[in-house]
Amino acid sequence: MQEQVQLLEKYFGYQQFRPGQEAAISSTIKHQNTLAIMPTGGGKSICYQIPGLSMNGTSIIISPLISLMKDQVDALEALGISATYINSSITTQEQNKRLYGMQSGKYDFVYVAPERFESDFFIQAIKRTYLSLIAFDEAHCISQWGHDFRPSYRSIIPNITRLPHIPVLMALTATATKEVIRDIQQLLHISDEHTVHTGFERKNLSFHLIKGKNKQDYIRSYLKEHQDESGIIYAATRKQVDSIYELLQKAGYSVSKYHAGLSEQERQEEQMSFIHDKTTIMVATNAFGMGIDKSNVRYVIHYAMPMNIESYYQEAGRAGRDGESSDCILLYSPQDVQLQKFLIEQSDMEEEAQQKEYKKLQSMTNYCHTHSCLNRYILDYFQSEQDNASHTCDRCSNCTERKEKLNITEEAQMILSCVKRLEERFGVSITSKVLKGSKDKKIMGFRLQKLSTYGIMAKYTEKQITEQIHFLIAENLLSIEEGKFPLLKLNKNSVEVLKGTRKVTMFSSPIPTSETVDYN
């Protein structure tokens, strides 16, 4: 590895490798297909750049977003490394010129989008190129269980096996569940031995969950205290982006926006202004950010809850790439769940895939209701053995803002008995209405006012009851079926609570007051 350390110093000016880099590099240069799973900002690029520089031949880097290829190529060229990109943003004539250059061995690195492999012309060109390495950046896109599946990624594999000289393959990702890791390993023939997993934890990030507050007021007061810091605000829709953008502009902030409704050129300009610190705030949909290397983002605020934990962690993870302390704030309201359900319902996904999405959405919703460490919750979601299983972060809002601990065993028993009396045939909304003793027509229609649990929690508001039900779900003391109309089901933990062998405590937390709750 002596030579690789020298390359690190010569080209990048760094003295030593970061955790995982050395293992990933040494496996790759031994011509073993290698998977590197490292958190955002962990230094994945160097994992393929150093082997690329060490080996004879050209390295192809497959990346799903063409918007960042130019930056990556510029950065390499600035270090004196020959690199180019071939994608639809350049003319066919220029593409052909670069392809000829590639065949003659002119470049050490060629960046392409996965769709390139669907072109016969490109396949012919790489057959004539001496390739050392093919790296799959954002490799989770290869798996249909990943949150951003790109079918074109899969079509690459048969093409690689037909090459006259098979290059070593490398896959890199920051967000992969166990299932996705297995999928990548199988598709690219990577063994456990050549899988480098440094864990996902980002110790400089503090996760905060804000509920029951007016979102715009929250943003205004947060920004007042973080005036000159660079940050991203993610909104769920273009309309939301436009209105937050206007709000901030009127308040005198220097702000950019980004969504699919803007022209390619506008998006480029907005992105560049933000990346080069001409503006301090970026308001965007999730169309913004994949692969964006802006190191000084001090906060990422989600104006609405994303569809799953993978997307949340990836988007929130754009904060603090420089290792400095940064905030990841999610502003939750129950309507966010409705919106995401609607999006899943409207999608043209097959039934099975839709069920999976509902399941992931439930995990995301549980994140917004758990009273445990938020950081821990995310790491547990990825079931990563590399991240110390027991420890809590002492940074997130649940760890730091713990208030009074309340014994809610009795309330939990009332809720669980009600689920039982309802024969597990209803969801959160009806159950809380029954417990409240609501005269809603649905309740009367089903004659649920006859139940013995009707009105037994009348002293609470319906919102408080709903909050407690969601807390029980998040803590796995009650189950919820996944689907469009999720039904509440008792599980073995519920039975323990009902029998009185398990105590339930919850930290008193602000109860939502400003939004209506309707889950079903």
Q: Which of residues 21-60 bind ligand ADP (CB under 6 A)?
A: 21, 38, 40-46
Instruction: Write the binding mask 302 to 341 for ligand ADP: x where contact by CB under 6 A, - elsewhere.
Output: -------------------x--------------------
| Cα–Cα distance for residue pair 448/500, rounded to 1 Å | 26
Tokens 């520089």 correspond to what residue? Answer: 53
CB of 121 to ligand ADP, least distance (A): 30
CB of 321 to ligand ADP, least distance (A): 6
Looking at the DSSP assignment, which residues form a beta bridge with residue 136?
A: 62, 171
CA neighbor of 106 nearest in space, from 130, 76, 73: 130
CB-CB contact of 303 with 244 (8 Å): yes
The residue range among 16-24, 110-118, 156-164, 397-405 that interacts with ligand ADP, by the rule CB under 6 A, is 16-24
Q: 405-407 and 505-507: which strand pairing? A: antiparallel
Three-class SS of residue 143? coil
CB nearer ligand ADP, residue 14 or residue 342:
14
CB-based burial label for 42 (10 Å; 0-12, 13-18, 19+): buried
CB nearer ligand ADP, residue 44 or residue 470:
44
Three-class SS of residue 334? helix
Q: Pick from 5, 11, 18, 119: which binds ligand ADP (CB under 6 A)?
A: 18
Q: Pick from 293, 424, 440, 515: which binds ligand ADP (CB under 6 A)?
A: 293
Q: Pick from 17, 222, 288, 382: which binds ligand ADP (CB under 6 A)?
A: 17
CB nearer ligand ADP, residue 21 or residue 429:
21
| Cα–Cα distance for residue pair 421/407, rounded to 1 Å | 23
CB nearer ligand ADP, residue 25 or residue 487:
25
The Cα-based distances of 512 to 213, 244, 369, 409 in angstroms read 7, 22, 12, 21
| Residue 442 binds ligand ADP (CB under 6 A) | no
Buried b (16+ CB within 10 A) or exposed e, 304-328: bbbbbbbbbbbbbbbbbbeeeebbb
Total residues at interface with ligand ADP (CB under 6 A): 15
The residue range among 10-18, 344-352, 396-404, 480-488 that interacts with ligand ADP, by the rule CB under 6 A, is 10-18
The Cα-based distances of 484 to 166, 312, 344 in angstroms read 46, 21, 9
Q: What is the largest CA-CA distance in the chain?
A: 82
CB of 78 to ligand ADP, least distance (A): 12
Q: Pick from 14, 100, 121, 485: which binds ligand ADP (CB under 6 A)?
A: 14
CB nearer ligand ADP, residue 41 or residue 306:
41
> ∠157-163-66 over CA atoms, to 5°?
55
| Cα–Cα distance for residue pair 118/115, rounded to 1 Å | 5
Instruction: Write the binding mask 236 to 275 for ligand ADP: x where contact by CB under 6 A, - elsewhere.
Output: ----------------------------------------
Q: What is the DSSP letter of 109?
A: E
CB nearer ligand ADP, residue 8 or residue 241:
8
CB of 328 to ligand ADP, least distance (A): 15
Q: Which of residues 158-187 bind ligand ADP (CB under 6 A)?
A: none
CB nearer ligand ADP, residue 21 or residue 397:
21
Torsion of Cα atoms, 124 then 126 then 128 then 133, to 10° = -160
CB nearer ligand ADP, residue 150 or residue 436:
150
What does the binding site for ligand ADP look like in residue numbers (CB under 6 A)? Answer: 14, 17-18, 21, 38, 40-46, 293, 295, 321
